[in-house]
Amino acid sequence: PPTLMSAAWFAGLLAVAWIAHFIARRILLAVVDRVTERTKVTWDDTLRDQHFFRHLASTAPLLVIYFGTYLVPDVIPSLDDLIHRVTLAALIIVLSLLMGRSPVFFLSGLGALMAVLLLIFRTTILSLVASIQIATNDMVRVGDWISMPQFGADGDVLDIALHTVKVQNWDKTIT
């Protein structure tokens, strides 16, 4: 049955996640420790002493589970969604440990960053949405005749780009 097959895939996925955890914690951390001891710079020693690499290694099994669930056949969509949400939550906690801050601080910082990016790229985002609407609704095509006196456009459409629509007016000027 599909449910038994999915359970077997999940068991295999958990085994691969455990192997990734073992490799990241035992082997990679040992290599990183040896490399940081041999370098002359001190910033890597500070990261090691603050357990940065250990926390970073904790993301390996989470990433295996997060991306591995896409490979599991016949998975129940609600279970797939739950697994992705839980692994993302654990990933946010690990990242907050790496930053040495509360997860609330981390998430509010991401929210503030998104607000700033939306303000900066507002025109580009609106242009992208408008371009998608124009293309999807087939409103204007190259070669169509349009007339928009407020923009000085009265002629054939030459090009449709993200921010602009290039029009060759009846008097051969380009708007």
Q: How does pLDDT run across 81-100, given as a tens digit for each residue?
A: 888 888 888 888 887 877 78
- State residue 171's pLDDT score: 92
Comparing CA positions, the residue from 57, 76, 80, 56 lying closest to residue 68 is 80
pTM: 0.53
Lookup: tokens for 145: 């005749």
Contacts of 112 (CB under 8 A, 6+ apart): none
Highest-confidence range of 14-18, 35-39, 78-82, 158-162, by mean pLDDT?
14-18
- pLDDT tens digit string along 109-139? 888 888 888 888 888 888 888 878 887 888 8
pLDDT band for 16, please (50, 70, 90 cuts): very high
Determine the 3-state secondary structure of 42 from DSSP: coil
Determine the 3-state secondary structure of 74 from DSSP: coil
Comparing CA positions, the residue from 23, 88, 85 lying closest to residue 57 is 23
In angstroms, the Cα distances linking 4 to 8, 10, 27, 83, 147 are 6, 10, 34, 18, 63
Lookup: tokens for 67: 């991306």
- Average pLDDT of the residues in 152-158: 91
- State residue 141's pLDDT score: 86
- State residue 44's pLDDT score: 84
